[in-house]
Structure 1
């Protein structure tokens, strides 16, 4: 019984402490976050995530979260007046922080020392800000960086070597920076490990040989809704691992036959001219499933998958994810047309779950205490003891029936 009591007590205590793993401080009208401030009094040594979204924060002390060694995630979303320090100093100092969200804030510039204090940072989401400038070495201290989201800003230039040397970098999103495309035949970005680049609505007009030559391990490239009118014959020749190319809704009129070597190629919403007298154009036309009409713009409306075997063709409805089976290997590649969104469990569900556990444990504990109290009561009742003695210890005058 003692062991049961101890187990239930630990269960109750763990339920009470569990509420501090994720701390929700959203919509509290917080204006400043300072070290040892009252707003952080609920933070414990076991707190992993803190949400400070939808407040009016204008200033964050760089050392405000420095002492919380378990902290991995910070969310400052929807604080429209929040900016990185204009003097170029560190925004935050936290060696444990792995994810930083500053979506829909007022960030204008990212300086070379802004993110220097977060050496373990792996994911940073800065979409829907007003970022105009990023200094050359802004991410140089973030060696563990895996994902960077800069969608919906006002960038006109990204330093080509800004991600140089980041060996863990997997994905970069630059969508909806309408003036971001590089000038002429200049490398857009340089990184030997980047696998996914999304630059929809970035103002590209021509894809040159050197445009993406600095990304030799690129596997997925999304260039929807640009102003691309030409993809040069030597373009993407350095991207031998490229297996997904999305070119929907551009102004492309001609394509190189070499693009058919890309397993997943989307041309939806482009007017492509096919010269039926040229075998290569006729071949490309046939592979695209388009009827041959000399020099007539043909509007391609579907997404096609070009297998490594050029005789195989599978049609996919536009904007619909599908599993594509390769003939050369048994691997299955899943194609997605939109940015992957990771949906976590909300604090409300976590709190409700822990509260139910707490109440259940408390109820069981109270029930067992009542049982113990009843047992002690019966032990002390002389009448019950008399009957118990009569049944368990009968008088010797009674003899068993033969």
Structure 2
């Protein structure tokens, strides 16, 4: 018997130990795998127990008298309510409870029974599938957040009891949630969120039960149409979010609706009937639709409209009448559309700027539509990204009658290196409007276009540009800062234009220019006061068929690296003896078909690397003038020493030698006088007189020698 009593005492002690252990575990709240040891010692309102790896919580952890109103246990991914259905916490003061992204799988009848003052529950991003109808009978719930769970129906009857205080219900992202079968007390419900619930329609009958509905979020569903009267019984509804639904047309009736949002829908046209039954409308958000046209009277009934957002649509024009008649309008956003640059659009742009309607639009601080779309009177095609070839290394939009290309069209195309826009005869650049934004474009061609001026901003966003081909345009002017952003330029072709001069410092910052082609600019000439252009590395200079008359000592002074000069077919009459003094590396000098009377041999004798020197076709050259005989003989000797085959006819006409008896100081003086005076024969009365006197002396000596 004594042995039996001993066993009983041992069993009782064992049970007592188990009970004590369980009690200690509960008191410790079983905080596992955490480095945050003070989680359970937080009693200051609001209590933050987020990210504490809590798996259980003692229902009396905070005591009955501790003064806390809010408890946040979010991101405790292993935490779940007691599976035996008992209350998870008892507290008389707690008003708000949050456990977002926890491990909650179910809510039971008595889970919240110990929180009689609870008004707000947020259990978003959990794994809840069902909720008993009586789950909140002991609470005074006003806000219930259940987004991103797995709820289709709360329970078999799909109802929640004692919801007479509920003001907000959020069941968003519960796929296939059956909103329109939900039954509960709606008397105080003001806000409903059912975004991404896979709804396919809007039930006016169900919403008519929610008399106090003010805000409704039905975005990211499959709603493709709304009946005009679906919200007629919601007399205080002022906010409606229908974003990201396949709605093609809006036509609603509501005396109270102030904000309507239908971003990323399928709307293609706006007419007066769409909004004429919304007299209180203040904010309309229709970005990212397919809107192509807006009737001028669309907002005639919306006299209170102050915000209209239409960014990222397919508009090609915008009725200026809307700006003139919408007196309350304070914000209008129409960036990233497909506007055609017309004179009417210029009026719209000017009025838009004067009314200061740009506020927080899609383009941010840059790429505003009024700064991208210029005023163009010519007719033709305006090309945006959707109209252009896909991103590739080489893109051609030649011969398409382009008058405008969206500067942002290839901003994201890192492969683009060459753009060909040849034969668009109505295309030109415009002041303050960049041609294109690209970090990769290296070659740009627009030959036979309608370009008249290159502006400071034209190429300002093409920092990798290396080659420019603008032959056969109507270029008359180039801004002196036009290429400041294009420091990698190495080939420039402005042939066949109407340039008269280039800004001297146009290319002074460019260290890679090798070729500059200015052929067939019929008005282009050199001045006598400044160098033609300051370009220290250019190697090839082409200016055939231009209007060059004089080459002075300054003309090529700032192009010391020149190897080749092609300036044939110019009316050149005078070349200074020092014209090529600063071009010691010159190898080719083509002066064919000029109007020269004489070429001073002293201008080239120092050019040791000169391989080709052409003077053919100089029909006005004075081969037999005795005053020039010494110069021409020396020129012939010098040419014969070069391996040039372009002067055969010219060389044959040059004299072979100078009779020694005819050469005198007077003759040399005359030659020098001729060289100095040049084609204008001295340019002064004293110069002309001196030359005539010297020439008469020379002729007299020549006659005496002949007799």
TM-score range, shorter-chain basis? Answer: 0.5 to 0.7
Query: Is residue 269 of structure 1 aligned with residue 617 of structure 2?
Result: yes
Q: Distance in 1 between matches of 2:452 and 2:414?
A: 29
> How far 1:254 sits from its partner (Å)?
1.1
Contact 2:526 2:550 in 1 (8 A): no
Q: Distance in 1 between matches of 2:644 and 2:630?
A: 22
Secondary structure at the aligned position of 1:203 is classed as coil
Of the three residues 363, 387, 390, the one matched with 1:43 is: 390
Of the three residues 301, 311, 315, the one matched with 2:645 is: 315
Query: Is residue 283 of structure 1 aligned with residue 634 of structure 2?
Result: yes
Query: Is residue 235 of structure 1 aligned with residue 579 of structure 2?
Result: yes
Contact 2:453 2:477 in 1 (8 A): yes
Contact 1:112 1:135 in 2 (8 A): yes
Give deviations 1:234-269, integer Å, cap 9, x for gaps.
Answer: 111111111110001001111122325432100010
Q: Distance in 2 between matches of 1:227 and 1:118?
A: 37
Query: Is there any run of 5+ residues in structure 1 with no aligned partner, and where?
Result: 1-28, 290-305, 308-312, 319-402
Contact 1:185 1:209 in 2 (8 A): no
Q: Distance in 2 between matches of 1:255 and 1:182?
A: 18
Q: How does 1:163-174 map to 2 (within 5 A)?
A: 163-174=507-518
Q: Distance in 2 between matches of 1:191 and 1:178?
A: 22
Query: Is residue 188 of structure 1 aligned with residue 495 of structure 2?
Result: no
Higher percent of residues as strand = 1
Q: Distance in 1 between matches of 2:492 and 2:510?
A: 12
Return closer, same or farther for 1:205/1:34 CA change in 2, 3 Å cut-off: same
Matched with 2:425 is: 80
Contact 1:103 1:126 in 2 (8 A): yes
Q: Distance in 2 between matches of 1:218 and 1:244?
A: 9
Contact 1:109 1:134 in 2 (8 A): yes
Query: Is residue 128 of structure 1 aligned with residue 472 of structure 2?
Result: yes
Contact 1:76 1:102 in 2 (8 A): yes
Matched with 1:34 is: 384
> How far 1:317 sits from its partner (Å)?
7.7
> How far 1:111 sits from its partner (Å)?
0.6
Secondary structure at the aligned position of 1:88 is classed as coil
Give deviations 1:135-160, integer Å, cap 9, x for gaps.
Answer: 10101110111101111111122101
- After the TM superposition, which of the residue ranges 112-121 and 269-278 deviates more from structure 2? 269-278
Q: Distance in 1 between matches of 2:637 and 2:487?
A: 46
Contact 2:454 2:477 in 1 (8 A): yes
Return closer, same or farther for 1:65/1:255 CA change in 2, 3 Å cut-off: same
> Larger radius of gyration, structure 1 or 2?
2
Q: Distance in 1 between matches of 2:576 and 2:545?
A: 20
Q: Distance in 2 between matches of 1:235 and 1:227?
A: 16
Give deviations 1:63-115, integer Å, cap 9, x for gaps.
Answer: 11111100111111001111112x32211011100100101111111111110
Q: Distance in 1 between matches of 2:541 and 2:453?
A: 22
Secondary structure at the aligned position of 2:634 is classed as helix
Q: Distance in 1 between matches of 2:480 and 2:638?
A: 43
Query: Is there any run of 5+ residues in structure 2 with no aligned partner, and where?
Result: 1-378, 649-707
Relative contact order higher in (CA < 8 Å, ≥ 6 apart):
1
**May I ask how many residue pairs the two structures share in their alignment?**
263
Q: What's the TM-score, normalizing by structure 1?
A: 0.62
Contact 1:69 1:95 in 2 (8 A): yes
Return closer, same or farther for 1:245/1:116 CA change in 2, 3 Å cut-off: same
Q: How does 1:360-379 map to 2 (within 5 A)?
A: none
Contact 1:204 1:226 in 2 (8 A): yes
Q: What's the TM-score, normalizing by structure 2?
A: 0.36
Contact 1:276 1:282 in 2 (8 A): no
Of the three residues 579, 589, 595, the one matched with 1:251 is: 595
Query: Is residue 68 of structure 1 aligned with residue 413 of structure 2?
Result: yes
Give the RMSD, CA atoms, in angstroms. 2.1
